[in-house]
């Protein structure tokens, strides 16, 4: 198929241009083939907005090329990410046309999409872990982030009920998950878009107030910054000083946490000073200048340069009293530190997370990942490194749904009997049979993340000694041991 439609030709040219700008190398023929394949696959489909469905995978691919510029395989997989789920084309055809690597990524995205259909969110952290337990390649997660971001940007076209459900899911699962991957911009946008649909009145009220106070804020930041810039220039420092925007959802959280109205949230004023240097001592010199000019607020200084966060985040944070007694948050960092803080794993193979939620397994994985990328020679491309870049986080766990949609965590290769004992000892004792995703199965059937399991019980049933041959959990083994010996 060759593209005749002028608009589609222009779309393809735009996508290839962004890819050439951001990717280490680009297989134009493969991307063009995927572009044409997706147009053909979705040619009869429309989005809720009335647009041709292909506009969605295309926009998602543009997000990936701009936000997560890993490799051309990711772009191809993104263009095709809805083909298996929404059309008659299957994985075998995709493997034949585009190879196993693309097929595995598309299959992973399809499975994640299927998990959330018709499920209520209970413990969001379990969902995030479950997603990682299902995914062997980080690119699956990144395609899903981009997919969710575009869906949130176009959420106005679906029903109010669906808006709320998707926004809640995004706020509880995807935004924190994006934060784990260090994707600061994606996290903020997902949070603000979710907030917009979950609390429309408050969101619109904040938008109005932030907009009406913008001139005052800009004027105040100028009043604070001008004398500071003069002093920095006197020290011959090369820098960029910018006002740091506060996001609507983060303002709202502060208002709730402090139980104060918008007008009393004084630390909406914030600046970031990025020093054009490789010498971190210049950051401390800058801090000294700030403290000479403005009174520091006690206990509001954090030195993440000398002692970086476990997630490699580095910056100096301080709060000072500026003109008119207003507080001003100041962050000071180098350009390299800023890249780590802003772009995260996708662009710089870095990671950012609040220390209080650090997960030991996650730290181990991050150390391993860091070794791979920082140990790579300069001539190696990201494509070659990616071949070894497989997620091993939470791969030894599976997450199973109860019929009511609750999630339970089990060891890999667990069976319905393990699940029965996990629910309750009595359910395990009386386990007669099981259904996985609505189909009756043998009790030794291995479970997989995302399965919904229903246990069939009978008061006349007792544990079977044969179960000891296949159960995995200690609870199931020990419970049976005492009842069968």
User: Measured between alpha carbons, how far is 246 from 352 in angstroms, rounded to an integer?
Assistant: 18
User: Measured between alpha carbons, how far is 443 from 168 in angstroms, rounded to an integer?
Assistant: 36
CB 328 within 8 A of CB 290: no
Q: CATH number of 6-198: 1.10.3210.10, 3.40.1190.20, 2.120.10.30, 1.10.3720.10?
A: 1.10.3210.10
Which of residues 290 and 2 earns the better pLDDT score?
290
The pTM for the full model equals 0.72
User: Measured between alpha carbons, how far is 183 from 126 in angstroms, rounded to an integer?
Assistant: 20
Query: Average of pLDDT values for 3-11?
Result: 88
> Does 368 score more than 70 pLDDT?
no
- Closest to 12 (Cα-Cα) out of 33, 32, 40: 32
Domain ranges across the chain: 6-198, 206-343, 413-484
pLDDT of residue 212: 79
CB 253 within 8 A of CB 306: no
pLDDT of residue 122: 57
Which of residues 9 and 120 earns the better pLDDT score?
9
- State the DSSP H helix or E strand holding residue 327, giving kind and residue range, or none if neither: strand 327-334
Q: What is the pLDDT of residues 169-188, one digit of tens each?
A: 899 888 887 876 767 788 99
User: Measured between alpha carbons, how far is 106 from 37 in angstroms, rounded to an integer?
Assistant: 14
Architecture label for domain 413-484 = Roll (3.10)
User: Measured between alpha carbons, how far is 316 from 62 in angstroms, rounded to an integer?
Assistant: 34
| Edge-to-edge strands, sheet with 453-457 | 439-441, 431-436, 453-457
Residues forming the active site: 85-86
User: Measured between alpha carbons, how far is 432 from 7 in angstroms, rounded to an integer?
Assistant: 60
Q: What is the pLDDT of residues 64-120, one digit of tens each?
A: 998 887 789 999 999 999 998 888 888 899 999 999 999 989 988 887 776 666 555
pLDDT of residue 307: 81
> Does 482 score more than 50 pLDDT?
no
pLDDT of residue 137: 75
User: Measured between alpha carbons, how far is 19 from 224 in angstroms, rounded to an integer?
Assistant: 40
The CA distances from residue 256 to 253, 261, 330, in Å, are 5, 9, 23
Tell me how far apart the 2 most distant CA atoms of the chain are, in Å: 87
> Does 361 score more than 60 pLDDT?
no
Q: What is the pLDDT of residues 323-337, one digit of tens each?
A: 888 888 999 999 988
pLDDT of residue 381: 43
User: Measured between alpha carbons, how far is 75 from 81 in angstroms, rounded to an integer?
Assistant: 10
pLDDT band at 353 (very low <50, low <70, confident <90, very high): very low
Which of residues 224 and 134 earns the better pLDDT score?
224
pLDDT of residue 139: 82
Tell me how crowded residue 148 is: count the other CB atoms within 10 A of its CB. Answer: 25
Query: Average of pLDDT values for 248-260?
Result: 90
Q: Which CATH superfamily is domain 206-343 in?
A: Beta Polymerase, domain 2 (3.30.460.10)
pLDDT of residue 142: 86
Among 49-53, 122-126, 261-265, name the most confident range.
49-53
Q: What is the pLDDT of residues 195-215, one digit of tens each?
A: 999 999 999 999 998 887 878
Among 66-70, 129-133, 302-306, 339-343, name the most confident range.
302-306
User: Measured between alpha carbons, how far is 216 from 162 in angstroms, rounded to an integer?
Assistant: 38
User: Measured between alpha carbons, how far is 392 from 368 in angstroms, rounded to an integer?
Assistant: 10
């Amino acid at each position: 198929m060759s593209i005749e439609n002028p608009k589609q030709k222009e779309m393809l040219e735009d996508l290839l241009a962004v890819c050439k700008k951001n990717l280490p190398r680009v297989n134009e023929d493969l991307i063009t083939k995927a572009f044409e394949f997706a147009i053909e696959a979705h040619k009869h489909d429309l989005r809720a907005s009335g647009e041709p469905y292909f506009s969605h995978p295309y926009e998602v691919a543009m997000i990936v090329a701009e936000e997560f510029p890993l490799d051309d395989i990711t772009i191809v997989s993104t263009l095709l990410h809805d083909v298996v789920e929404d059309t008659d084309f299957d994985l075998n055809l995709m493997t034949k046309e585009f190879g196993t690597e693309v097929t595995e990524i598309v299959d992973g995205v399809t499975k994640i999409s299927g998990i959330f259909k018709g499920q209520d969110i209970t413990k969001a952290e379990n969902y995030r872990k479950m997603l990682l337990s299902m995914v062997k390649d980080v690119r699956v997660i990144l395609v899903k982030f981009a997919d969710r971001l575009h869906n949130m940007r176009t959420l106005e076209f679906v029903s109010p009920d669906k808006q709320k459900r998707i926004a809640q899911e995004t706020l509880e699962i995807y935004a924190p998950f994006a934060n784990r991957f260090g994707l600061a911009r994606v996290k903020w946008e997902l949070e603000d878009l979710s907030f917009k649909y979950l609390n429309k009145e408050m969101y619109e009220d904040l938008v109005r107030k932030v907009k009406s106070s913008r001139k005052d804020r800009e004027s105040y930041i100028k009043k604070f910054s001008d004398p500071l810039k003069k002093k920095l220039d006197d020290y011959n420092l090369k820098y960029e000083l910018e006002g740091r925007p506060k996001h609507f959802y983060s303002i709202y959280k502060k208002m709730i946490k402090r139980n104060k109205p918008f007008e009393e949230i004084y630390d909406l004023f914030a600046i970031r000073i990025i020093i054009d240097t490789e010498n971190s001592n210049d950051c401390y010199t800058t801090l000294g200048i700030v403290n000479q000019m403005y009174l520091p607020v006690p206990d509001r200084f954090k030195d993440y340069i000398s002692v970086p966060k476990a997630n490699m985040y580095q910056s100096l944070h301080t709060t000072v009293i500026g003109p008119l007694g207003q507080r001003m948050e100041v962050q000071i960092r180098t350009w390299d530190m800023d890249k780590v803080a802003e772009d995260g794993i996708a662009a710089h193979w870095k990671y950012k997370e609040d220390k209080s939620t650090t997960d030991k397994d996650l730290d181990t994985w991050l150390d391993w990942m860091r070794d791979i990328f920082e140990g790579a020679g300069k001539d190696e491309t990201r494509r070659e490194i990616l071949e070894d870049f497989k997620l091993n986080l939470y791969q030894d766990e599976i997450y199973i749904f109860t019929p009511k949609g609750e999630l339970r965590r089990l060891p890999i290769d667990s069976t319905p009997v393990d699940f029965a004992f996990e629910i309750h000892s009595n359910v395990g004792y009386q386990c007669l049979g099981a259904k996985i995703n609505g189909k009756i199965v043998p009790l030794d059937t291995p479970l997989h993340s995302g399965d919904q399991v229903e246990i069939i019980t009978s008061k006349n049933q007792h544990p079977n000694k044969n179960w000891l041959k296949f159960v995995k959990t200690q609870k199931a083994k020990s419970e049976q041991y005492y009842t069968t010996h």
